[in-house]
Amino acid sequence: MLKIKLKDALLTLTLLGTVGCTTVPRTMTINTGATSQTERPVIAPVKRPPIKEEILIGRNGNATPTLGTRVDVPVNNPTLGQATVENNEENLTAEEEVVNREVMERIPFPVEEYKYVKKRGSSTVKGKVYLENVHTSQKIVKGKIKLWLNPVTSYSKQWYEESYLGGYKLSKTDKRLYNYLKFTYSDDNGNFNFYGVPRGDYYLTGTMVCGDECGMPQKKAILLVQEVSVGRGTTSVTLMKNVP
């Protein structure tokens, strides 16, 4: 009986060993969608132009031009290679004609007086500026003549009496005056307009350069001045002078 049980036990172990050693094929499924990586676009590096230092040609006075000199661009002449003409004949003022005369000191700028001078208004000043040759009766008109309206005050009155009428050169103008001046330009026919002018009294001034047509041997800057009273609406005025 015991032998029969031992045989059955050995047979069972043999069968289990055989089954345990039997190779069972396994199937592995790989999900390619889950493991695939998203393709990123390839960004090409930005090509920047190489930085190079410009070599400019500079000239000091009448010296020979030299290479490799840095040239600073002047504020009033942003283009290199173009000369800036200073004191051009068209930019002359009448005061420049009396530079050799005695210089007279201006009175201190009257701050309290200018507190009552309005800077903005609603009136218009229109007119015509020209020179007239007394020998030929020819009227000389030019475009782009710069014209100024200067309020009549003790400060501007000194300029009118001492410089314009008296011929003296005055000391430097106080920059605060420019806050109260108005300017415009004439057209090719000598016509001009000022807009937004406060009512009051002004010195209307302009400078014209004239030569042969004015009966003068050489060009000369001629200052034209007239006192104008501006009221409501439009004030018409003619700014002229007989020459020579």
For the residues of 37-80, what is the DSSP string, one character each? PPPPPPPPPP-PPPP-PPPPEE--TTSPPEET---PPPTT--ST
How far CA 242 is from CA of 131, 134, 136, 163, in Å, comes to: 6, 6, 11, 19
- Residue 119's alpha-carbon distances to 15, 123, 203, in angstroms, are 120, 12, 15
- Domains along the sequence of the chain with CATH: 91-117+124-243 (2.60.40.10)
> How far is Cα 230 from Cα 226, in angstroms, rounded to an integer?
12
Q: Is residue 10 very low, low, confident or very high in pLDDT (cuts 50, 70, 90)?
A: low
Q: Please state the rounded mean pLDDT for residues 196-218.
A: 94
Q: Which helix (H) or strand (E) holds 4?
A: helix 2-21
The pLDDT score that the predictor gives to residue 8 is: 59
> What's the rounded Cα separation, in Å, for the pair 129 and 239?
5
- Tell me the residue type at 158: Q
For residue 102, the model assigns a pLDDT of 79
pLDDT digits (tens, 9 = 90+) for 208-224: 999 998 989 999 999 99
Of 4-18, 100-114, 205-219, the range with the lowest mean pLDDT is 4-18
Q: How sure is the predictor about 1, in pLDDT bands with cuts at 50, 70 and 90?
A: low
Most confident of 4-8, 59-63, 92-96: 4-8
- pLDDT category, 176, cuts 50, 70, 90? very high
Using CA atoms, how far residue 161 sits from 154, 182, 240, in Å, is: 10, 21, 19
Q: Is the pLDDT of residue 155 over 70?
A: yes
Range in 73-87, 114-128, 221-235 the model is least confident about: 73-87
What is the DSSP code string of 140-195? E--SS-EEEEEE-SHHHHHIIIIIIIT-PEE-PPPGGGGGS-EEEE--TTSEEEEE
**What's the rounded mean pLDDT across residues 170-179?**
96
Let me know: does 104 contact 144? Beta carbons within 8 Å. no
Over the chain, what is the mean pLDDT? 73
Highest mean pLDDT among 12-16, 36-40, 166-170, 224-228: 224-228
Say if residue 27's pLDDT is above 90.
Answer: no
pLDDT tier for residue 68 given thresholds of 50, 70 and 90: very low
